[in-house]
Chains A and B, each alone.
Chain A
């Protein structure tokens, strides 16, 4: 009987995880679709488009990468840009670490593979409330990635029928996603000050020709500003 109860508890945990992932799915399918279409326009095959969503699984980096690919940028430049754009996950992973002290290394490895901005936002909110079963955490991650792969595949297939992405505003998917994610993170006035200052600094650095390094340099300075403000209060 014990095993039956465990199975049922596990099933509930998965169900809760899938439900919790619904908002992510709603965002990932259209954005994944936009990525799929843009990848087609850039000349990527359907297989490679979907494979990237399976292997890399990083929305912003994938959208930026297909943009670079379209301009004929060298592979090294794609890898370097991906690295810089995804360095923010270093910080998100660190922010989750206090809640995951009891996790096994193998579980952490599987979790980290599917850590994205959106799953981070869902997990950090949940962990702050209570420790959820690992099955539920993984259900969120797996559901999210499956929806990202589905969206990419749909976009890749539709991409052959869509001549221009501009009438559908697919090129606005990424900025709109950043707005949504940023607003979800804002909890008090200090966050607003940090966001405004970091954004302006990133613009200045980008205009100064620092490219994607502008993002990481501005972010490091911006987060430090947050702590300085906190100590000053």
Chain B
């Protein structure tokens, strides 16, 4: 757990610690603007379409199809709570019915 602490803290600390001493070149600033979108998309899509190391875009992939209404709610509300509750609610409801 202490190992996890160290590897979590260092990436959070280092840039803000070092970079506040000098301004960044504009190209680096432009690049940094795309980083959050890129990282989140890279975390999300495999979680939706990869099941046990195989591509799964079948009708039976509940995670993938539940993502559609979750996206809609996220787009409308731009909140964290709304889409999380709707997404989990739909997955729970479908599992209950099936």
Contact = CB atoms under 8 A, between A and B. Distances in A.
B14 A93 contact: yes
Determine chain B's interface SS by DSSP, over half rule: helix
Contact of B84 (A51, A108, A180): A180
Contacts of A216: 39, 42
B2 A175 contact: no
A222 B38 contact: yes
A120 B12 CA distance: 11
Interface residues of B, number: 70
Contacts of B4: 52, 55-56, 58, 61, 65, 78-79, 82
A138 interface: no
A117 B37 CA distance: 11
Interface of A: 23-24, 26-27, 30-31, 48, 51-52, 55-58, 60-61, 65, 75, 78-80, 82-83, 85-98, 100-101, 103, 105, 108-109, 111-113, 115, 117-118, 120-121, 166-186, 190-191, 194-196, 198-203, 206-207, 209, 214-216, 218-220, 222-227, 230
Interface of B: 1-5, 7-9, 11-17, 19-20, 23-24, 27-50, 53-55, 63, 66-67, 70-71, 74-75, 78-92, 95-96
30 contacts: A26-B80, A30-B85, A55-B2, A58-B4, A79-B3, A82-B7, A82-B8, A93-B11, A94-B16, A97-B15, A97-B20, A97-B24, A115-B12, A168-B92, A169-B87, A175-B44, A176-B88, A177-B80, A179-B83, A180-B79, A180-B84, A185-B37, A199-B42, A203-B50, A215-B46, A219-B35, A226-B30, A226-B34, A226-B37, A230-B30
